[in-house]
Amino acid sequence: MTNLTPFALDPYAAISCPVKTQNAFNPLLNSGQPVDPYAVEFFRESTPHRSKVIRFLTEHHPGSVRDLGALDRDDRVEACVAAMGEGVPIILNAEMPVDWTNHRYGIADILFRGDDVDGRASYYPAMIKDHSVLSPTPKGEGGQLIASLDRPFLNQARPSAYRYRIESQSDNLLYLAHLWYLVEAAGFGASQPWGAVIGVDQLDKIHGCLVSWFSLYDKQIRAFSYTSSHQWRKYSPLSRYQHEHRFRVRVAAHALQQTGSPSDPELVASPVHIPECDSCEWWPQCQSSLEDDISVKIERSPLDAREIMTLRSLGVSTITDLASTDVDALLPEYLPRVAHRTGAETRLRLAAHRGRLLAEGVNLERLTTGPIAIPSAPVEIDMDIETSASNHVYLWGFLVHDLRGGGGEPYYHSISRFSSLNQTRELELAEEAATWLADLISSLGDDPALVWHYSNYEPSSLRRFARTRGGEASPVLTWLTSYAIDHFVDLFTIVRNNFFGVEGLGLKTMATEGAGFAWRDTDPSGLNSQYWFSDAVHASTAELRQAAKTRILEYNEDDVRATWALRQWLRSLT
């Protein structure tokens, strides 16, 4: 590696896809331009929370804070070394000297001064995260070592009633390990490796956000080990980071030596489609090599990267391979290597089932034969609700099909509030919708009705509303919740018992593939409807607000008409 262009990796490299590192350092993908030794300018997002933390530290520790954020890179590095040499207690936006020997560079959001070591100041890195990182400690368990922003240093931290969310936030500790090694390489490492994470969690406005302190030596990250007899082991952030960093150094070094064809490189890391890919600048490059790959083709209940790599090692890479594979014969070699996944056999069999259907060009498969038992009633009502991004229900939609006297065309009715909602307004709307439905049912006399929905969201929402008035039950919601026990029918349960879908069994899949139903909107989805609701409430003109409102109402009407159409199709099957 001594003949290679010097290179360094940022703290994100060890916690993100290694193919990113591979592509960034591959000269075949950079139009022959010299590879930037840093690969990509270190990305740092400015958020209100980050600004709040920096402002709090600056205001509450006058004379003890030095912010290097406004400086250029070269000046920032020099200023950081100078600040550490002076023993400044709190250094913000601290870019440390590049450690070319160990291929590291990076900026610490904060460096907190620790104890003196051999007559010089030492420092601990800290990072700011724009979300919660703590949760209450289960009874009987020890708490996280916590400080507050007004007293943030390690020697001021104390055990708390909180625990760090290690299961979902372990990457932060690997990030801190990277920064710790940079501090150490610069000559300002403390006698013991510690780091801190500052999330949005706080005791109160006086003390600021909580500072969670970690020993980077402690074994606290649970990871699967194929070579260990116990399989699941705990690793320290330092050891886990070193494992990941060494691999990416090898990936980058190998990529730098590429001189062949861009379409046929000899590389270390093989791309696997994971959620991170969808926002990655390199995805078009990876996608071209994964045209028929299992990780791309199977989108519903996808196999994870380890499962995909295990299949590849056993000669199963594409949908075509998977469709022709004898799963029973594969399992003895496959299962021991994917013991990290609960239900690994079931997951593989589902993937193989989807693979066979994809190879045959089939999206929807009937699992049963003969007519499907579908309950019926003189009056059938399809119901669907819409929620905002803040999870408030703002629209109740109904499609009423009165089959008495020969029946007629179903008609749509909606009850909505296109305004900012809180819990009280949401509950009032729910009571209005429940009252309308109760009055309709009451008007039928002795003629029974069935209320159809797709999945359990509507009845579970009713139960939630029925107990949400400060302990005082709403009579109409209580009645409707009781009525739902015998008169609400989940169409999804019937579908699930009779069909298997390559893309799952969602309403849009079933109504489109099965019943041939089409939504009027070109991009119908519950997520999109949340954006439309925001426009309906906050758009700059009345015309835009009305257009968004109309779009939502048509989308909701199509949803209930889709359940109606799907039900008619199911009844027609013999």
Task: Evaluate whether 137 touches 145 at the Cβ level (below 8 Å).
Answer: no
| Region of residue 454 (left: phi > 0; alpha: psi -120 to 50; beta: else) | beta
User: Using 50, 70 and 90 to split pLDDT, how confident is the model at 155?
Assistant: very high
- For residues 333-362, one letter each, b for 16 or more C-beta atoms within 10 angstroms of the residue's C-beta and e for the rest, the string is ebeebbeebeebeebbebbbbbbbbbbeee
Q: Which of 175, 167, 168, 165 is nearest to 144 (CA)?
A: 165
Query: 268-316: per-residue pLDDT in tens?
Result: 888 999 888 888 888 888 888 888 899 999 988 899 999 999 999 999 9
* Pair of tokens at residue 534: 């925001």
CA atoms of 481 and 466, how far apart (whole Å): 7
What kind and span of H or E run contains 169? helix 166-185
Sign, CA dihedral 461-464-468-474, equals: positive
Q: Which of 473, 485, 400 is nearest to 443 (CA)?
A: 400
DSSP structural state of residue 500: E
Q: Are strands 107-113 and 90-95 parallel, antiparallel or unpaired?
A: antiparallel
Q: Strand ranges (DSSP E) for 370-422?
A: 379-387, 393-402, 411-416
The arithmetic mean of pLDDT across residues 113-125, rounded, is 93
Lowest mean pLDDT among 74-83, 133-142, 377-386: 133-142
Q: What is the pTM of this model?
A: 0.75
Specify which residues 90 forms β-bridges with.
65, 112
Q: What is the DSSP string of 3-70?
A: TSPP--B-TTGGGS-HHHHHHHT-GGGTTTPPPPTTSSPPP----HHHHHHHHHHHHHSTTSEEE-TT
CA atoms of 279 and 275, how far apart (whole Å): 8
Q: What is the DSSP string of 122-149?
A: -EEEEEE-SS--EEEPPTTSPPPEEEET
* Pair of tokens at residue 261: 């064809």
Looking at the domain 379-572, which fold is it?
A: Nucleotidyltransferase; domain 5 (3.30.420)
Specify which residues 415 forms β-bridges with.
396
Q: What is the predicted pLDDT for the residue at 234?
A: 85
Task: Evaluate whether 484 touches 451 at the Cβ level (below 8 Å).
Answer: yes
CA atoms of 120 and 190, how far apart (whole Å): 10
Three-class SS of residue 465? helix
The arithmetic mean of pLDDT across residues 8-28, rounded, is 89
Q: What is the predicted pLDDT for the residue at 36?
A: 55
Write down the mean pLDDT value for the chain: 89
DSSP structural state of residue 155: G
Is pLDDT at 380 greater than 80 in this prediction?
yes
Q: What is the predicted pLDDT for the residue at 275?
A: 85
DSSP structural state of residue 264: S
Specify which residues 488 forms β-bridges with.
451
User: Using 50, 70 and 90 to split pLDDT, how confident is the model at 84?
Assistant: very high
466 against 326, higher pLDDT: 326
Q: What is the DSSP string of 302-318?
A: ---HHHHHHHHHTT--B
Three-class SS of residue 291? coil
Is pLDDT at 55 greater than 60 in this prediction?
yes
Q: What is the predicted pLDDT for the residue at 347?
A: 94
Task: Evaluate whether 311 touches 303 at the Cβ level (below 8 Å).
Answer: yes
Residue 541, Cβ density class (10 Å: 0-12 exposed, 13-18 middle, ≥19 buried): exposed
Q: What is the predicted pLDDT for the residue at 260?
A: 63
Query: 306-363: per-residue pLDDT in tens?
Result: 999 999 999 999 999 999 999 999 999 999 888 888 899 999 999 999 999 999 999 9
Domain boundaries, the chain: 1-269, 275-362, 379-572
Query: 476-534: per-residue pLDDT in tens?
Result: 999 999 999 999 999 999 999 999 999 999 999 999 999 999 999 999 988 899 999 99
**Percentage of residues of the chain with pLDDT beyond 70:** 91
